Amino acid sequence: MKYIEVALNLPLKMSFRYRVPTELAARVKIGSRVLVPFRNKNLKGFVTRERGKGERKLKDVIKLVDDFPAISRPLLRLGEWVSQYYHCSLGQSLHSMLPIQRSLKDKEKKVEGKKISCSGNLAQTSGGSVFLLMAEEPEEKISIFLSLAKDVLARGRQVVLVVPEVSYISSWNKLIQSEYGNCVAILHSRLKDRERYVSWMRMRREEAYFAIGTRCVLFAPFPDLGLIVLEEEENTSYKQREVPRYHAREVAARRGKIEGFPVVLMSQSPSLESWSRAHKKEYLPISTRATRKARPQVEIIDLRQEEDKVLSRSLEEAVKEALKGNELAILFLDRRGFSRYLLCQDCGEVLRCPNCNIGLTFHLKGALSCHYCGHEERSPLVCPYCTGNRLRGKGVGTQQVEKEAKIRFPGALIRRADLDIGPSLAGSALKDEVIKGKIDILIGTKLIIREEILKEAKVVGIILADSLLNLPDFRAGERLFQLLVKIKRSIKKEGKMLIQTYNPTHYSLRCVRDREEDFYPQEMRAREELHYPPHFHWARVLLEGKTEARVTEASQRISQKLGEKGVEFLGPSPCPFAKIKGRYRYQLIVRDENPSRITACLKGEVGYSSSSANAV
Ligand SMILES: [Zn+2]
Ligand SMILES: [Zn+2]
C-alpha cells in the first residue's frame, strides 16, 4: 500500500497524510496534484512525499487531477525554500506556483525547438551566479539581452524574462518575436484561466522557448530552463503583496542556484540590495561600453526662496520655452505623501522620528506617530529647528497644479492624468495623444512616468520632491533617486529636468544632478547606523483582528517572546493604514544580520495566515 504527504493551500503548519488506492498507485508521484477529503470538503493539494507505511485510519485520495506531475522536483525544492524564507505553508507556496485551476492534459506532441548555433560563454561557465547589468542606453541593454538569450537557446535551453508590470510585456514581445518568430509564451495574472493554461502547456512542451511575464513567470514549467532575466530589478512591483510575500529577485536567484543556470538583473539604477551585493562581489557585473552620451540638464530649485510654491520662476520659464518650441512639458506630482507629514516651509525640515529617522505620520487632531517603532508626540506649533511658524501638513494636488498652469500658460493644451480620471488614459491612448502632439503640458502622478511617454518630453518639472522624500519608509530616498534617474535617462537628451524642493542639499537630489554613482555609498552609510537593510534583514510581523484590544494583546505577547529570545525588534505599532476593511492592523519589525535567525525565531512564535509575516 502506498501512502503520501499532501501540501494543501491552507495556513497550517502540519502536512497531511493520505492513502493511495491501488488503481492510482502507479500514477501518483511526487509533484502530482491530487483531490483529497479534508474536514467536510474536497481540496486539491500537491504530493510532497511518498511513504511505504501509514496508519490504517488514513483517508483515501479521491482522484488524480492531472495527467502528469504538475510541479517538477526542482520547483518543489524552490517551493520549500519560499515557504521557509517567506514564512508560509508549503501548500500556500506551491499553489502560487501553479496558477491554473483546470486539469492538465497530456497531448504527446512535442515540437522540436529551433536550435540556433552559436558559441556560448556566460551561461556555460556560470550556473547559479547572479549578474548585474547596468547599461546606460536602452539599445545596449537590448543587444546584450539578445546575445545572452542566443547563447542559451543555442544549447537547446529556454529563457524567461520577468517584467515588473503587464504594460512592459508588449514591446519586449514584439522585439523577441522579430528576432525569433512565434516562440514566446506570455504569463501574467490578468490572463484568463484558459489563456494561462495554453501558455503554461506551450512552455512545458517546449512549443515556446521564451517566456515573458510578471512575477508568476518565475515558475515557468520549462523542462530545461537556462536563463532568467529581470527587467528593472529595482521596481517595487517585484515584491508580492499576498501570501507568499516573496520578492522576484530572490526567487529567481534561488531557482538559478537549484537548477544551475545564471540569473541576470537589469537596471539603470539598481536597488541598494543589489548594489551592495555587487559591491561585495556576490553579484557579478556584466561589462558595458563606458560611453557617456549627453544627458539632459538637471536643476534643483529651492522652494524656500520662492514666492510661488507650485510653479517656481525657473519652472515657468522652462515650460514657456518648451511651448515656444512646440515641445512636450510634463509636470509630475506624487500624491502618496499628501498631507501625511509635517514640513517647515521656512527651513525645509520635516518632523522625523528620533529613533528611526523616517517622516512622522501626521494625523488629524495634531498627533504625530512613527509606524516603525510606535513613537508618538504632539505636533508642535513652531518648527523645532528654526522656530518658524509655517509648519504645513498639506501639499498640492494635481488639480491645483492644473488650475495654476491654465492661468500661467493660456492657450496651451493641458492634460491631467491621474487615477481620479480613470485608468483608460493610463493605457496606450495617452501615449498616442502624446505622440500625435495633442498635448502641450501633461500633468500627472506616477501613471505618466513611463519610458514611451517620457521620451517625447523636453521639460519635466517635479512639483514637490519632498512628498516622496518624506514618505514614512526607510527606502524613500532610494525610491526618489531611482525615479529621478529614470526620468533623466528617458527624456530628450537636450531636455531639462527641474526639481522643486524644500531640501535642495539632500544627496538623493544632488547625486541625480551631479554624479549618480555617489548615491549608493552615501545611502549605505545612512542606513548602517539605524540597522536598516541591506545591512540587516527585516521581517514584518503583521497582526490583524476585529477588535483592537485583541490585536494589541497578541502583539504584546509576541514582543515579550521575542524579547526573551534576545532578538532585535521594533514596535509593536499601528500600521500606516491602521484599519482596513474593519480589521485593526499592528506590526512588529524583527531584524537581524542573519536571515536564518529571523526564520528560526518566527517559526515557533508566529503562525501562518493569509497575511502573516513579511520579509521587507
Ligand atoms: Zn523650520
Ligand atoms: Zn520610530
pLDDT digits (tens, 9 = 90+) for 176-195: 999 988 899 999 988 999 99
Q: How far is the CA of 538 from the centre of ligand 1 (A)?
A: 33
Q: How far is the CA of 456 from the centre of ligand 2 (A)?
A: 42
Contact 548/517 with Cβ under 8 angstroms? no
- Taking a 5 Å cut-off on Cβ, the residues next to ion ligand 1 are 344, 346-347, 383, 385-386, 388
Q: How far is the CA of 344 from the centre of ligand 1 (A)?
A: 5
Ligand nearest to the CA of 589: 2
Rounded CA gap, 38 and 8, in Å?
Answer: 9
Ligand nearest to the CA of 342: 1
- Domain(s) labelled CATH 3.40.50.300 in the chain stretch across 122-285, 297-338+395-526
For 297-338+395-526, CATH gives: 3.40.50.300
Q: How far is the CA of 230 from the centre of ligand 2 (A)?
A: 33
Positions of the chain with pLDDT under 50: 111-120, 123, 337-338, 611-616
Ligand nearest to the CA of 388: 1
Q: Kindly state the DSSP code that residue 21 receives in the 8-state scheme.
A: P
- Taking a 5 Å cut-off on Cβ, the residues next to ion ligand 2 are 353, 355-356, 370, 372-373, 375
Q: 179 is written with which cell numbers?
A: 528576432
Sign of CA dihedral 564, 570, 571, 574: negative
Ligand nearest to the CA of 474: 2
Please tell me the predicted confidence (pLDDT) of residue 135.
85
pLDDT in tens, 383-394: 988 999 888 776
Q: How far is the CA of 215 from the centre of ligand 2 (A)?
A: 32
DSSP string, 145-188: HHHHHHHHHHTT-EEEEE-SSGGGHHHHHHHHHHHH-S-EEEE-
Among candidate residues 532, 464, 486, 477, the one with its CA nearest the CA of residue 509: 477
- Domain(s) labelled CATH 3.30.70.600 in the chain stretch across 537-615
Q: How far is the CA of 466 from the centre of ligand 1 (A)?
A: 14
- Domain(s) labelled CATH 3.40.1440.60 in the chain stretch across 2-97
Ligand nearest to the CA of 348: 1
For the chain, the residue count is 616
Range 537-615 has CATH code 3.40.50.300: no
Rounded CA gap, 492 and 295, in Å?
Answer: 8
- The CATH homologous superfamily for domain 2-97 is PriA, 3(prime) DNA-binding domain (3.40.1440.60)
Rounded CA gap, 236 and 216, in Å?
Answer: 15
- Give me the residue label for grid cell 517635479: 462
Q: How far is the CA of 571 from the centre of ligand 1 (A)?
A: 29
Contact 408/316 with Cβ under 8 angstroms? yes
Please tell me the predicted confidence (pLDDT) of residue 107.
67
Instruction: Read off φ and ψ for residue 311, nearest 5 degrees.
Output: -125, 105
Please tell me the predicted confidence (pLDDT) of residue 42.
94
Ligand nearest to the CA of 360: 2
Q: How far is the CA of 354 from the centre of ligand 2 (A)?
A: 6
Q: How far is the CA of 519 from the centre of ligand 1 (A)?
A: 26
Contact 558/605 with Cβ under 8 angstroms? yes
Cα-based angle 605, 610, 615 (whole degrees, multiple of 5): 60
Q: How far is the CA of 371 from the centre of ligand 2 (A)?
A: 6
Ligand nearest to the CA of 351: 1
Ligand nearest to the CA of 361: 2
Any idea which fold 122-285 has? Rossmann fold (3.40.50)
Rounded CA gap, 395 and 343, in Å?
Answer: 9
- Give me the residue label for grid cell 527651513: 347
